[in-house]
Amino acid sequence: MAYTALQTMQDRNTGLFHHDIGPRQPAWHFEEKATDLKSMALRFLHERCEGLLFDPKKEENEQNGDFQGTSFTFGQIPYNMQMDLNRLCLERELEKFIDSGVAEDAYTIYYSYLEMFFGHYGKSKKMVELLSEFESNGSSLLMKHRDHYSHSVYVFALGLAIYESNSAYRKAFKTFYGFDLSEDNQEEDHKAACCFLEYWGLTSLFHDIGYPFEIPFEQVLSYYEVAGKKRGKGSLFMAYHDVDKTIQLSEKARAHFSDLYHEDFRTTEDLFSYGVTRRLGNAYQFTREYIQKKIHDKPISPETFGYFMDHAYFSTARLYHEMENSLGTDCLGDKHLDALTAILLHNSLYKFAISFYKSDDDKKRKAPLPMDIHPLAFLLMLCDELQCWDRTAYGRNSRTELHPMAASFDFANNSIRAEYYYDQEEQEKIDDFKVEYKKWEDGGEAGDAPRLKAYSDMAEKEQRFTVDIEKIVDTTDIPLTVVPDTCAVDRTSKHTYLSASNFLHLYDFAVALNGRYSHQGEEKETPTEVLEKEFEDLSLEYQLSNINQAKSFARYLDALGCFYTDRPVDYDMITEFNEEQTSVFAPMEHERWIREHIAMAWEYGTLYENVDLPSGYIERWGSEDAARKTLREQFRMHKLTMNGNPSLKEVTVHYNQLPPSEQGKDYEPFNSMLKLIKKFDGLRIYKL
């Protein structure tokens, strides 16, 4: 029984109404014994994270039926039931992302995580959206640059799969953070998994948010590399000065960390150098003064780091302030500091200032990082290296290089077998490389071996890809096997349409779609702040439903021969959909709604409309209609949904049988949205 609060509510409903009714346990969307990435990651969320974010006090206070959870509105369901549904939302969104890999599906992972663990996406949305904006608009000027937005969500999924599949890592994490090691103690095992999810999510999802600081630095140096010059002495480069205000700790933070660690930290650099040294200092024989100087020089002296800017420095600084603003200074503790230092270490600090993993000097080169002295840093560096597939190439050289477009993983027997797939259309490049490599071998291996970017690192006998990972992290307890292969390109899962979202607009679209329910015909007069407040008052499930409706809009427009963009184009603008157009996309929207409800464990039924209402329900909710809508949320039963796995034809028949008032719910929101999006910056809809 993975979703215990749903089961508790079902038991209550069965006893109160004497019917076999929901909420039902969500269906598994993974194979029971499968050991692939998707199955392992989803199994972790579905089974190991039982009780995620439950509040026993609220559960105790709700015994009289005075619920403190939000479904469509506050108070309709128990608080713990809402937490179970939030976890199910994350599980379903991760499933979509692993299937597609597209940035729009990565967006909803960020959204779900922030709503669940930060409490409010709106406060942190700039942090999430800035990276996607910079990468999509600025990175094409670079010589080498690949996506870090979807990449971070893949890293997140890899970490979940490793925790679920590898007993040695679970043991290391539990030992490090003081959990009972016995997996027979199910309650403690669930607590450890929930703890891992929170802090691994913090570490993995936000480890690259500092890239907007690295991209301009690389843009300047690209001028030299275009001319064939290597970066180095004589290169014009950027450095960041006056960072003091960015890294300065508030008086409240200084007092908090002084109470926690009995030291006075004036800046985040002070705090992070303490955090890195206490975890790695003894094992790698460096002092706090040494590592603090290295950290301090990152933004101001990139020439001392081979003329490279370290985005990890800015990721930690940015994330720290986001946590302080969203969570509150008093809530920050050891695990938050570990997440921050893991991010700080992952790019170059550990590799080139602590372990010197590429050094030929045996005395200087240190042992790879074991999982037991900093589990979050260990896992981030491992997953960051493994995640090299399906990354959009932005840079000039990156667009023409050979990178793996897909990968399959097997996590059986506490090991990792990764098979990376390259486009079979590039077989000529691969064959040429093999010929050159054979010549190099036959010639006595004089000079540097031929290279073909990532493929050669995996295919050549030196196995640079695997060997480099093994030099960075200790894989003794997670044996790694890497195999390159080729296959045909399959972009069907990418759902690529003319409409281009920068992710900034998905939130605006969703707010607009929700707003039409309350402000039909009054869209222009309604302040944006009112629309956003109404949206924020919804549960995560209903927020995501609006966001996913907005994400589907590009598909609907594509079916109509239309598209949206924030750029001025010479096409006819659409201000309203006609009846012919709505007849095309309305059934498509109904299908999306049906499948969404089935995935979220809703079932067909009408019992909530005619069962005897409990005493006091009408008085509490103000009307019989409102009371019965509350029962609908508590039963997770809806008269308009379907059961099982209906075909598209069955869904279309179902839609055509609906009364006009219900059919209108599938197309009216989009006409309202055409008016509402004018309130947001620059988006317009055009017809080809």
Q: How far apart are the first and last CA of the chain?
A: 51
Contact between 604 and 24 under an 8 Å Cβ cutoff? The reply is no
Output the furthest CA–CA distance in the chain (Å, rounded): 90
Instruction: Check residue 134 and give its pLDDT.
Output: 58
Q: Residue 410: what are its φ and ψ, rounded to 5°? A: -130, 120
Query: What is the residue whose two structure tokens read 């503790």?
Result: 333
**Buried b or exposed e, range 462-492, using 16+ CB within 10 angstroms:** eeebbeebbbbbbbebbebebebebeeeeee
| Segments making up each domain of the chain, as ranges | 4-18+32-204, 210-387, 406-496, 497-687
As a whole number of angstroms, the distance between CA 136 and CA 102 comes to: 13
Question: pLDDT averaged over the chain?
Answer: 88
Instruction: Check residue 499 and give its pLDDT.
Output: 75
Q: Residue 515: what are its φ and ψ, rounded to 5°? A: -65, -30
Residue 688: CB atoms within 10 A of its CB come to: 11
As a whole number of angstroms, the distance between CA 593 and CA 586 comes to: 11
Sheet order of strands, 562-565 included: 562-565, 684-687, 572-573
As a whole number of angstroms, the distance between CA 148 and CA 95 comes to: 19
Instruction: Check residue 136 and give its pLDDT.
Output: 56
Q: Which amino acid is at 439?
A: K
As a whole number of angstroms, the distance between CA 13 and CA 6 comes to: 11
As a whole number of angstroms, the distance between CA 667 and CA 579 comes to: 10
Which long-range contacts (C-beta less than 8 Å, at least 24 apart) are formed by 294-299?
Answer: 294/349, 294/353, 295/269, 295/344, 295/349, 296/269, 298/349, 299/213, 299/239, 299/240, 299/243
Instruction: Check residue 139 and give its pLDDT.
Output: 47
Instruction: Check residue 455 and give its pLDDT.
Output: 84
The dihedral sign for the CA sequence 54, 58, 60, 62: negative
Instruction: Check residue 678 and give its pLDDT.
Output: 63
Contact between 673 and 582 under an 8 Å Cβ cutoff? The reply is no
Contact between 127 and 111 under an 8 Å Cβ cutoff? The reply is no
Contact between 597 and 88 under an 8 Å Cβ cutoff? The reply is no
As a whole number of angstroms, the distance between CA 39 and CA 36 comes to: 5
As a whole number of angstroms, the distance between CA 214 and CA 312 comes to: 9
Contacts of 222 (CB under 8 A, 6+ apart): 141, 142, 143, 396
Q: What angle do CA 245, 246, 247 make, to 5 degrees?
A: 95
pTM, two decimal places: 0.94
Tokens found for residue 110: 């960020």
Instruction: Check residue 228 and give its pLDDT.
Output: 62
What are the pLDDT digits (tens) for 219-244? 788 776 655 677 888 888 889 988 98
* Ranges under pLDDT 70 in the chain: 1, 121-147, 224-228, 391-401, 491-496, 500-504, 519-524, 676-682
Which DSSP category does 28 fall into?
Answer: P
Instruction: Check residue 183 and give its pLDDT.
Output: 75
Q: For residue 36, how many C-alpha atoms fall within 13 Å in the half-sphere facing its CB?
A: 13
Q: Residue 146: what are its φ and ψ, rounded to 5°? A: -130, 160
